[in-house]
Amino acid sequence: MQKVVIYTDGGARNNPGPAGAGVAIYEGDPSTGSGRELSSIKKFLGSQTNNWAEYEAVAIALTEAKRLRLTERTLEIRMDSKLVVEQVMGNWKIKEPTLKPQCAKVRALLKDFAAYSFVHIPREENAEADRLVNEAIDEAI
């Protein structure tokens, strides 16, 4: 059984400002040419900060993965926010009060999955999720 690769991104213009989330879920690894897209989501988030939007994108991705019945699969969540990766994994403290409930929401969702990992990737490797974020914001404003 192939792993599931999930790309997430969140962003806000003017930080805080109009924000969006983007998610692309694949069976297999699209970076090797063996990925098959299972779902893509773009969502406008109102006025938020970049980091809040990054967390929300992960929460949206995990909710969609659960809807797709991927809870017994190994998830690899790839994102360009090192802050979110390190905070979710418990390596960095969460200093911003608005991010504590976001992190708690993500951690609660992760309990539904058998196996997962978070991978910090360079921004240029997250182009699809970034495109979805910008489309969500552009369509809303």
Architecture of domain 4-140: 2-Layer Sandwich (3.30)
CA distance 43 to 54: 12
Domain chopping of the chain, boundaries:
4-140
| Coil vs helix vs strand at 63 | helix
pLDDT for position 122: 98
Residue 79 Cα distances to 117, 128, 139, 141, angstroms: 11, 11, 23, 25
For the stretch 13-62, pLDDT in tens is 999 999 999 999 999 999 888 889 999 999 999 999 999 999 999 999 99
pLDDT, the chain, mean: 97
Cα 39-66-99 angle, rounded to 5 deg: 95
pLDDT for position 2: 78
pLDDT for position 141: 92
- Which strands make up the sheet holding 115-120, listed edge to edge? 36-48, 17-27, 4-12, 74-79, 115-120
Confidence of residue 133 (pLDDT cuts 50, 70, 90): very high
Helix ranges, the chain (H): 50-67, 82-88, 99-110, 127-140
More confident of the two residues 64 and 31: 64
Q: How many CB atoms lie within 10 A of CB 14?
A: 10
pLDDT for position 1: 66
Q: Is 118 exposed, middle or buried (0-12, 13-18, 19+ CB in 10 A)?
A: buried
